[in-house]
Amino acid sequence: MLLWLAQAVSQTAQNAIWYGLMVVVEEKTHSSTQMGFAILSTILPSIMLGLVAGVLVDRFSKKSVLVATNFMRALVVLGYLFYGVSLAIAYLVNFASSLITQFFAPAEASKIPQLVSQRQLLTANSLFNLTFNGAQLAGMVLLGPPLVKFLGPEAVFIAAAGTFAVAGVLVSQLPREIAPVQTIWGLDAREVRRQVWGDIVEGWRFITADRRTSLAMLHLTMASALMLIVAMLAPRYVVAVLQIRADDAVYILAPAGLGILLGTTTIGNLARHTAKEKLVNFGLVLMSVFIFLLAIVRWLADSPIGPLLTVPGLPGGVNIVPFVMLVAGIVGFAMSLLIIPSQTILMERAPASTRGRIFAVQIVLGNVASIAPLLFIGELADRIGISQVVGLLAVMILVIWAVSTEGFAARLASRLRRRQ
């Protein structure tokens, strides 16, 4: 309960920060490229330090890491208050906060299997994702928009600092845990480097040697990258396609969050009758189809079936918003089918002593997979149009589904045997 509450309040704060920052960047620059810079400043620390952070988390008390990182973030996020001087300051604060999060995220994920049995992992992960996505709804819909509209972005950043401090107090009440078998205390710098590198290699070998773990890692990597890309494109999408204000991105984010909430509350029952891998593959197909609908929604509105999708009497492009909200909700539901079973597979198969580094690898891979798209996708959206880019995302997801199926794996294995 303590970990759950701490997760809820800290992630609500983080999502409120993201909402405030998206509005600030969009209103100041009106550029998807600049939004890409904001996200890039968040993911670079993962690429630079993520693997090392995961190894170190395995060698420290998870409770101590959670307490320290929450209080550190409470101080760092106050730097956002100076965004008016230069957006570069906001990007720098993003970088620092993300640097701290490289230790927080694997410690939080590793703590869950310490508190529940393996039989309860799917339920615990559902609850974790329910809170994760509920926090998106709370931060980006309930907390962020009212604060931005009535008090300005500064109020979001101040509230977030206080919320991180509350999370720090909550995790400080967690029970003591068994000390890690290996620590770095008393080692010289050379030995620390040697052991850290050895642990990274060991974790990577485990991931690549087990097919179910590899596929779960692929799916979580894609989900992480997709969420970052959507965060960058959402404000431009609502302006260019729906023809409404950037701070009304809630019309996309809220129903998507509700869809994920629906998925997290029903996936336990679904998993009793369907294998986790089948749920993941169904989620991929469903997500691809409905993201493609988001890409062509303007064309559909102008087609003969347009009257079926629009709400008469609403001004401007708002008349297609209800249909887009429905589609976004289904995309959110599909995302839950992708993330929760994949996380559960990863927790089930990862040895307790390596969970920190394995979850760090997942975070790093998600951010590395985002680098290439983030470097050009904003510019691509500015040049060819946001709808076309959203359509490309749908195709990419369908390709990943094809790679994930048992049939693809069997064909690939057969080809490799023939070559040998």
Segments of the chain scoring below 50 in pLDDT: 184-188, 315-316
Query: Alpha-carbon distance 248 to 270, whole Å?
Result: 33
CATH for 84: 1.20.1250.20
Long-range contacts of 179-187 (CB under 8 A, 24+ apart): 179/61, 180/58, 180/59, 180/60, 180/61, 180/353, 181/353, 182/58, 182/59, 183/59, 183/60, 184/56, 184/59
DSSP secondary structure of 224-265? HHHHHHHHHHHHHHHHHTS-S-GGGTHHHHHHHHHHHHHHHH
Query: Alpha-carbon distance 298 to 243, whole Å?
Result: 11
pLDDT of residue 113: 76
pLDDT of residue 390: 85
Report the predicted TM-score, pTM, of the whole model to 2 decimal places. Answer: 0.60
pLDDT of residue 219: 82
Query: Alpha-carbon distance 70 to 104, whole Å?
Result: 8
Query: Alpha-carbon distance 323 to 243, whole Å?
Result: 14
Token output for 258: 């509700």
* HSE-up (13 A, CA, CB side) for residue 209: 8
pLDDT of residue 197: 58
Rg of the chain (C-alpha set) = 21
Token output for 167: 């999370």
Find the domain containing 261 and state its range: 2-419
pLDDT of residue 17: 85
pLDDT of residue 71: 94
Domain count, the chain: 1
CA distances 310 to 105, 258, 274, 286, 298, Å, are 42, 21, 36, 23, 11
Q: What are the backbone angles phi and psi of residue 311, rounded to the nearest 5°? A: -110, 110
